[in-house]
Amino acid sequence: MGGVQLTTIVARVWRGVATVFLVSLVLLGLGPADSVAAQEDGGEVSGSLLQRNDDGERVGVAGVIFRAFDESGAEVSSTTTAEDGSWSMTVPEGTYDILLDEQTLPEGVSLRNPDKNPAQVTLIDGASKSALFPLGEAAASSVGGNTVIQLIVDGLKLGLIIAMCAIGLSLIYGTTGLTNFAHGEAVTFGAVTAYLLNSTGVFGVRLHLIPATFIVIAICGGAGGLFNRAVWRPMRRRGASLVAALVVSIGFSIFFRYVILFIFSGRAKRLRDYQIQEQWDLGLFRLAPKDLVLMIISVAVLVGVALALQLTRMGKAMRAVSDNRDLAESTGIDVERVISLVWICGSALAGLGGVLFGLTESINWEMGFRILLLMFAGVTLGGLGTAYGALFGSIIVGLFIQLSTLVIPTDMKNVGALLMLIVILLIRPQGLFGRRERIG
């Protein structure tokens, strides 16, 4: 009998894996497939050539030639900027000098940093690189010595995005005890789906980013509920240990990451809407309109989640299950229904976070894995299993990441955040908002 039950549960798990794989394949395959075979042709070097017009607006410069030279000095590719100033070229893996042909610049237009022409780029594993060639004199800025304020604003923006993604991770841990390493791929899935709907198009139809975002939220929420129903609920009913569940989540994380790489390719891509915007000079700091909207949306959603947890019946049930599952079940709460809703809401928030993250950075197959470490830092810093702790912990992580660039190189800023996490946990192991637990 036990053997039959074990066979049944294994079959259910594999059906769940196959279902999620097919859903991912269908959703990601609706647009043109950039498969691994395309990566063998090399990576993409791209950029935008912009200048300011008489009104101070940034406009594209068309007809400028870019050339790529390999390490032997041989020209391997060339391209010309489009009407909007964008350009791109595909070259094999390797190191290249990207040269802007200054003779093709319009009269009266010059490079701001001619000593940095050509720019050197290195392409590995079909990755994409951007090469920047600013034109004209740098615009005067009233920000001046307010670098710290600018970094604080940037840190708040990053912290809100991390919090959007991390609250679902924290709620899942609180209600099930599972540390879900595949949560980062939910962020990537949301960003990639938004790109397909907004930039590539589905069945020839491209949606504006706003309606596309609502569709992404629904798809990611549904995928999260399906994932729980097909995989995690059967494992819970079989009494699988948390260590076994942790290993399974790591396996799913790697699996989904490479499914996305296979279909989406390793080339970084950008959403079609809201990419080129003039920053507002607000005196103490600069902020692009999309960043302000992003922060407002993040705050509104996070406040809504907090109110729902505090005031609604289901929110109170979530907090009860997170606090003591056995006691909550003995009072009549449908624990499995609560857990299912947590997976749906947490995955939907991760998808929304992926869209917002894609607005600030390029979209690629491992973006969720990169932000996953920051999510873990925020969740652990705030206190495992607490939604409010995840919120404040993520904001602290975002602020520390940006402010740390005052004293350490920009490339090391994420390492600084993890070191800060270690120091705080040595002082307060339960996190800033966690509770001490008695063991034994």
**What is the C-alpha separation between 387 and 164, in angstroms, rounded?**
10
Q: Which pLDDT value is given to residue 351?
A: 93
What backbone torsions phi and psi does residue 376 show, to the nearest 5 degrees?
Answer: -60, -40
Q: Which pLDDT value is given to residue 127?
A: 61
Indicate the pairing of strand 280-281 with strand 286-287.
antiparallel
Q: Which pLDDT value is given to residue 37?
A: 39
What backbone torsions phi and psi does residue 45 show, to the nearest 5 degrees?
Answer: -110, 130
In sign, the C-alpha dihedral spanning 188, 191, 196, 197 is positive
Q: DSSP readout, 28-47?
A: HHTS----HHHHTT-EEEEE
**What is the C-alpha separation between 195 and 355, in angstroms, rounded?**
9
Q: Which pLDDT value is given to residue 7?
A: 47
**What is the C-alpha separation between 347 and 184, in angstroms, rounded?**
10
Under 8 Å CB-to-CB from 106, ≥6 apart: which residues?
61, 63
**What is the C-alpha separation between 295 and 302, in angstroms, rounded?**
10
How many helices (H) and strands (E) in the chain?
14, 11
**What is the C-alpha separation between 219 and 350, in angstroms, rounded?**
11
Answer yes or no: pTM beyond 0.75: no
**What is the C-alpha separation between 157 and 30, in angstroms, rounded?**
32
Model confidence over 18-71: pLDDT tens digits? 555 555 544 444 444 443 333 444 577 888 888 777 666 677 888 899 999 988
Please, what are the averages of pLDDT over each run of 10 residues along the chain (440 residues)?
47 53 49 41 75 71 90 88 85 86 86 83 69 69 62 90 88 85 91 88 82 93 91 86 88 90 79 75 82 90 88 87 82 88 92 90 84 85 72 86 81 75 73 53
225 pairs with which residues across the strands?
A: none
**What is the C-alpha separation between 100 and 68, in angstroms, rounded?**
9
Q: Which pLDDT value is given to residue 217?
A: 93
- Cβ–Cβ < 8 Å for 62, 82: yes
- Cβ–Cβ < 8 Å for 194, 28: no
Q: Which pLDDT value is given to residue 355?
A: 92
Domains delineated in the chain = 45-130 (2.60.40.10), 147-427 (1.10.3470)
Q: What is the Rg, in whole angstroms, of the alpha carbon atoms belonging to the chain?
A: 24
Model confidence over 169-208: pLDDT tens digits? 888 888 888 888 999 899 999 999 998 888 887 777 888 8
